[in-house]
Amino acid sequence: MGKRIVVIGAVAAGPKAAARVKRLDLDAQVIMVDQAELISYGGCGLPYYISGEVSDINELMSTSFHLKRDAKFFEGAKGVEVRTRTRALAIDRAQKSVRLQNLATEELYSLDYDQLVLATGSTPIRLPIPGAELPGVFTVANPSDAEAIREPVSKGEVEQVVIIGGGAIGLELAEAFTELWGLETAVVELQEHLLPGLLDSPLARMVQAHVEAQGVKVYCGEQVQQLEAENGRVARVVTSKRTLPADLVIMAVGVRPNSQLAREAGLLVGPTGGIVVNQRLQTSDPLIYAGGDCIENYHLLTGKRVHYPSGSIANRQGRVIGTNLNGGHEIFEGVIGSYIMKLFELSVGCTGLSLAAAQREGFDAFETLVSQADQAHFYPGQELMYLQLVADRPTQRLLGLQGVGAMGQGVKARIDAVGAMLKFKPTLDDLSNLEVAYAPPFAAALDIVNAAANTAKNILAGTNHPLPMDDFISIWKDKYAAGVTFLDIRERDNAAPLVEKWGPLWVNIPQGELRYRLAEVPQDKKLILVCNAGMRSYESQVILDHAGITGTANLQGGYAALKKSEPIP
Amino acid sequence: MGKRIVVIGAVAAGPKAAARVKRLDLDAQVIMVDQAELISYGGCGLPYYISGEVSDINELMSTSFHLKRDAKFFEGAKGVEVRTRTRALAIDRAQKSVRLQNLATEELYSLDYDQLVLATGSTPIRLPIPGAELPGVFTVANPSDAEAIREPVSKGEVEQVVIIGGGAIGLELAEAFTELWGLETAVVELQEHLLPGLLDSPLARMVQAHVEAQGVKVYCGEQVQQLEAENGRVARVVTSKRTLPADLVIMAVGVRPNSQLAREAGLLVGPTGGIVVNQRLQTSDPLIYAGGDCIENYHLLTGKRVHYPSGSIANRQGRVIGTNLNGGHEIFEGVIGSYIMKLFELSVGCTGLSLAAAQREGFDAFETLVSQADQAHFYPGQELMYLQLVADRPTQRLLGLQGVGAMGQGVKARIDAVGAMLKFKPTLDDLSNLEVAYAPPFAAALDIVNAAANTAKNILAGTNHPLPMDDFISIWKDKYAAGVTFLDIRERDNAAPLVEKWGPLWVNIPQGELRYRLAEVPQDKKLILVCNAGMRSYESQVILDHAGITGTANLQGGYAALKKSEPIP
């Protein structure tokens, strides 16, 4: 028997590292321990088990060929010994030994290691508010949580759900409760818009409009202050602005890395709470590797250490660890921040930095919002896709992309094309001429990612004077006092209902007639140009600038993006 | 009035360049000429007009807001003067003048230019064989061709179609005639497999199996020798191997750049037949720019000049030309070779070099075929996707990717993620850890692009000994003489029908039991390991190698890829 490798944690990074090193070194003894009974589950699938789309919890623990990934499976298929219900209590680095407890028998024992892997994951944050521990209040960390949530729901014992946290998990759960179980569901988000870590407000507003249209109540900018009980169970959620009835409350306000074991063993833990590792995923003890949700990662765009939990990244890190345990020299360079989610009929994705994040990091960043069909305009069945591009003004460097579109892989295609380039420090020029795959059923001839870059370049060149969606909405709220005229340069049929409704505030000159009708352009107030997608209004702006009618502003993303975001005008 | 810019050719690159430069310089006089009546159409949409999916030919010439892109539109919306049915006969570079003919009046006149743009496109090749000019024989270059093809089809006058050429256009047309019109359709391809410029044989075989299942007859490796007539119309296609009845014949055997005008004007034309341009898309005369299908492009992977016709690239080049006409400094670096197409229920895509192309270019290239679900295995509704990755052995550099999957944007997402990186010269490590966007409805936690890189790395590391699909098929054809045993390491239920059918040739030991049943492994013949996707057979190979049972070969892509390609075993 060769060296002994002990792996603590049997979800994602742990099993991957264990199986990989065993394949490279069949003489090694690989022992994987986990405090839970159920291991190697697809944690990202828990919302789909709660919703019922995944009918059996065991499917989350199965291979693609329908074998359950339990201790017996790991023994036979991977040659890895698994000890479930076994908690790691302490690491003795001097002795190279882990103190373990069998939770079934309460037996305590030590296990020597030659190398150790920490894949201890993360724990959902439970807000320290009154009532947080009441029955009926859950976080979603593992299959047991999911079963405990689904059971009363499936029995019809739940009518009103409040989800605290409007991030990705919170919204996936909102869909699960609304779409599949028909429950009254409310989401309370502390920040001013949904998905605050992933999106800026324009696309977040589209997401909110969509989930609200599906019946989810959304309360942003509200702090949950306490949970109140009735008959010993949670019954109400009290926010800074209202009280919501609830017989089930989910806290989905983020996770914390499980780094206590590492910290107590004297390993370096960073300010994010994650275990510090080098690019080979070694901790400050070179015999101990760590990966997955318990570590902090280098962010390839900001150069900072971040806690960035992801089942997908954990898997990739597991492989790197497995190789390096065997003396290999793989590196994990860092994270970019790519994400995609299904939300009812939408797919919502992002990569890199949001505008808010980029500005916080000190970039002189600006954004571009574009709307374009996800197929050639003549190909039947296309739907509009919306992208927000974030770039650095002085260097023209691409910093991030966010997208909202119909469900399917169209948004992922754009996110991944840009995400794949980001570590190579691409500029807007690289994206403007990026050769993405084209045929009419898949894209316009000039793909929306190319169009986004071109629009950003026009903004930088000073030929496109954009009006961000947020500013449009602010102006619209106070439209009579704002000293503006809206010049709708779409065709008559499109503009007519607004012209009729808003009188002299909303004027229509179709773009193709504008160069002949310059005398009719109202010049007493600031002009806000509106077309359907923001392209024709840009073309109009060029004509107006040349005619000396300057100071106009062009609604980014056009009326299509506005309509997707807000019930106005 | 400022300078005069003349644009020859009013599809894709021409209109884009014209509109772009006019936006940047409203004082310029921009005149675009085209010999056709119909301009600025989406040429890639012609197959969908022939199929009837696009009902009205005018949709191919419309904007996304339903205005027809005719001369009046360009005048009003873009400020560009258009002269249709106007042929450019000659360029007098000394005089800076173009000789034009109005095809309606036959009037000849000259038009001076300050700058000139050549966007003369390409022409489908008509094979120089007897009967090539018979009535009923078409190429597909423009809306007139498409109308001429669709008319008799829609009247029920066509029953049997033969398409000469099994490339992308040929197959799109095969779908159009079969799926939408229910015609008997045959495709004759000179090369040994379909889509020879885009795919290698394993995925091409999947494509062939799919189109044949939809009723298309496919004859590869056959040369069309002549077309025979009956009653003055085409009636038969005679190939090197058979005679096919046909009342409609389409030649889809590639296109040639329209560079004669440039050549006659003394501009440099390359060996590909395309006009030579620099990165700013200037021809050898700095006052004359060229873009689109009439030029040759620099290939970013081979460093060679290629003719690479693409409506999407033409659009991007048009913008670069427009900017540079106005004194800008945009560059078009070159092409990568990204493509995607719909084919009945499949999407088929590629980027970079195929294995055959890479080997022709002198790379020490090898391939990896992987099969994986396009969603998490537990998420309902997933379908298998198949990728072939091509990489350079000594440098581990990525050279290309091909994909086949269900219709939708899943294959495009993988093609574009890899395609976006290619010019940055990524290695397998870059792809192994590429952070693509993940959630269970969109991908497995370890995306298929990561899995493809990992498999390629295992092959290079010598731990995965692959058997290419082509070799498997050759062996299977002569399986009793080949001195092999097939070791199926899937679960009993999967393997049972084959074990029953093929007796001692096909042996089953499930992978999870293999390490305990090594004594049962037949060792008298070469072992070919088979699982469903090629992963478990790799794991088995590691176990067998360690046990001293070496010399095994692992079917790349597994039984799933085999079944998708061939009706065997």
The reported pLDDT for the residue numbered B180 is: 85
3-state DSSP call for residue B31? Answer: strand
Considering only CA atoms, which of B18, B35, B3 is closest in space to residue B317? B18
Residues of chain A with Cβ-Cβ distance to B313 below 8 Å are: 435
User: Of chain A residues 528-547, which have a CB less than 8 A from chain B?
Assistant: 532-533, 536, 539, 542-543, 546
- Is residue B332 in some structural domain? no
Chains A and B form CB pairs within 8 A to the count of 290
- Do A266 and A245 lie in one domain? The reply is no
- Do B285 and B359 lie in one domain? The reply is no
Q: Name the domain boundary from B226, B253, B280.
A: B253
Which residue of chain A has the CA closest to B75? A512
Considering only CA atoms, which of B411, B417, B412, B402 is closest in space to residue B350? B402
Q: Do B339 and A437 touch (CB under 8 A)?
A: yes
Q: Do A312 and B445 touch (CB under 8 A)?
A: yes
- Is residue B164 in some structural domain? yes
User: Of chain A residues 265-324, which have a CB less than 8 A from chain B?
Assistant: 310-316, 319-320
The reported pLDDT for the residue numbered A531 is: 97
- Do B486 and B541 lie in one domain? The reply is yes
DSSP character string of A537-565: HHHHHHHHHHTT----EEETTHHHHHHHH
CA–CA dist B332, B298 (Å, integer): 9
For the CA atoms of B394, B400, B402, B407, the dihedral, rounded to the nearest 10 degrees, stands at 140
Whether B277 contacts B283, CB under 8 Å: yes
**Half-sphere exposure at residue B351, Cβ-oriented, CA atoms within 13 angstroms:** 26
The beta-carbon neighbor of A42 closest among B331, B333, B376 is B376
Q: Do A311 and B445 touch (CB under 8 A)?
A: yes
The reported pLDDT for the residue numbered A566 is: 81
The beta-carbon neighbor of A437 closest among B377, B412, B437 is B412
Substitution target in A60, A438, A559 with the highest count of B β-carbons within 10 Å is A438
Q: Which residues are CB-contacts of A278 (< 8 A; sequence separation ≥ 6)?
A: none
Query: Two tokens at B182?
Result: 């229910």
pLDDT tens-digit map of A306-365: 999 999 999 999 999 999 999 999 999 999 999 999 999 999 999 999 999 999 999 999
Whether A119 contacts A7, CB under 8 Å: yes
Count of domains observed in chain A: 4
Q: Do A26 and B543 touch (CB under 8 A)?
A: yes
- Is residue A130 in some structural domain? no
Residues of chain A with Cβ-Cβ distance to B412 below 8 Å are: 409, 413, 436-437, 442-443
- Is residue A105 in some structural domain? yes
**Half-sphere exposure at residue B357, Cβ-oriented, CA atoms within 13 angstroms:** 24
Range of the domain at B537: 466-565
Q: Name the domain boundary from A397, A428, A461.
A: A461
Q: Do B421 and A424 touch (CB under 8 A)?
A: yes
Q: Where are the alpha helices (DSSP H) in A326-447?
A: 355-360, 410-422, 428-432
Residues of chain B with Cβ-Cβ distance to A338 below 8 Å are: 435-438
Whether A350 contacts A338, CB under 8 Å: yes
- Is residue B131 in some structural domain? no
Q: Do A312 and B447 touch (CB under 8 A)?
A: yes
Q: How far is CA A42 from the centre of its chain?
A: 17
- Is residue A128 in some structural domain? no
Find tokens 């022939």 and name the residue: B50
- Reported as type and span, the H/E element at residue B47 is helix B46-51
User: Of chain A residues 375-394, which have a CB less than 8 A from chain B?
Assistant: 376-380
CATH code for the domain of B67: 3.50.50.60
Find tokens 């086949």 and name the residue: B404
pLDDT tens-digit map of B361-389: 999 999 999 999 999 999 998 999 999 99
- DSSP assigned state of A458: H
- Is residue B80 in some structural domain? yes
The beta-carbon neighbor of A491 closest among B65, B337, B437 is B65
Whether B287 contacts B96, CB under 8 Å: yes
* A126 in B contact zone (CB under 8 Å): no
- Do A94 and A30 lie in one domain? The reply is yes
Q: Do A438 and B339 touch (CB under 8 A)?
A: yes
The beta-carbon neighbor of B73 closest among A413, A420, A512 is A512
The beta-carbon neighbor of B445 closest among A44, A333, A536 is A44
- Do B245 and B275 lie in one domain? The reply is no
Considering only CA atoms, which of B256, B326, B320, B323 is closest in space to residue B291? B320
Residues of chain B with Cβ-Cβ distance to A454 below 8 Å are: 319
- Do B450 and B346 lie in one domain? The reply is yes
Pairing status of strand A224-230 against strand A233-239:
antiparallel
User: Of chain A residues 50-89, which have a CB less than 8 A from chain B?
Assistant: 53-54, 59-60, 62-67, 73, 76-79
Q: Is the dihedral of CA B313, B316, B321, B327 positive or negative?
A: negative
| Tens of pLDDT, residue by residue, chain A (569 residues) | 799 999 999 999 999 999 999 999 999 999 999 999 999 999 999 999 999 999 999 999 999 888 999 999 999 999 999 999 999 999 999 999 999 999 999 999 999 999 999 999 999 999 999 999 999 999 999 999 999 999 999 999 999 999 999 999 999 999 999 988 999 999 999 999 999 999 999 999 999 999 999 999 999 999 999 999 999 999 999 999 999 999 999 999 999 999 999 999 999 999 999 999 999 999 999 999 999 999 999 999 999 999 999 999 999 999 999 999 999 999 999 999 999 999 999 999 999 999 999 999 999 999 999 999 999 999 998 999 999 999 999 999 999 999 999 999 999 999 999 999 999 999 999 999 999 999 999 999 999 999 999 999 999 999 999 999 999 999 999 999 999 999 999 999 999 999 999 989 999 999 999 999 999 999 999 999 999 999 999 999 999 999 999 999 999 999 999 999 987 76
Count Cβ neighbours within 10 Å for each residue of B250-260 and write b for 16 or more, e otherwise. bbbbebbbbbe
Q: Do A409 and B374 touch (CB under 8 A)?
A: yes
- Is residue B213 in some structural domain? yes
- Do A263 and A114 lie in one domain? The reply is yes
Q: Which residues are CB-contacts of A45 (< 8 A; sequence separation ≥ 6)?
A: A54, A59, A60, B376, B378, B379, B440
Secondary structure, 3-state, B391-432:
EECCCCEEEEEEEEEECCCHHHHHHHHHHHHHCCCCEHHHHH
CATH code for the domain of B550: 3.40.250.10
Check: pTM over 0.80? Answer yes or no.
Answer: yes
The reported pLDDT for the residue numbered B569 is: 66
Considering only CA atoms, which of A133, A122, A169 is closest in space to residue A9? A122
Q: Name the domain boundary from B191, B219, B253.
A: B253
Task: Determine the angle formed by the axes of helices B469-477 and B558-565, rounding to 10 degrees.
Answer: 70
Substitution target in B279, B442, B535 with the highest count of A β-carbons within 10 Å is B442
Which residue of chain B has the CA closest to A545? B26
- Do A247 and A263 lie in one domain? The reply is no
The beta-carbon neighbor of A440 closest among B45, B338, B539 is B45
For residue A196, whether the previous peptide bond is cis, meaning omega lies within 30 degrees of 0, is no
* Residue spans of chain B under pLDDT 50: none
Whether B434 contacts B367, CB under 8 Å: no
Active site positions of A, annotated: 44
- The residue type of A309 is P
**B350 tagged catalytic:** no
Residues of chain B with Cβ-Cβ distance to A339 below 8 Å are: 437-439
- Do A412 and A490 lie in one domain? The reply is no
- Do B391 and B355 lie in one domain? The reply is yes
- Do A8 and A110 lie in one domain? The reply is yes
Residues of chain A with Cβ-Cβ distance to B451 below 8 Å are: none
- The residue type of B296 is E
- Do B360 and B290 lie in one domain? The reply is no
User: Of chain A residues 454-483, which have a CB less than 8 A from chain B?
Assistant: 454, 463
User: Of chain A residues 402-421, which have a CB less than 8 A from chain B?
Assistant: 407-410, 412-421
**Which class for B337: exposed (0-12), middle (13-18), buried (19 or more C-beta within 10 A)?**
buried
Which residue of chain B has the CA closest to A426? B424
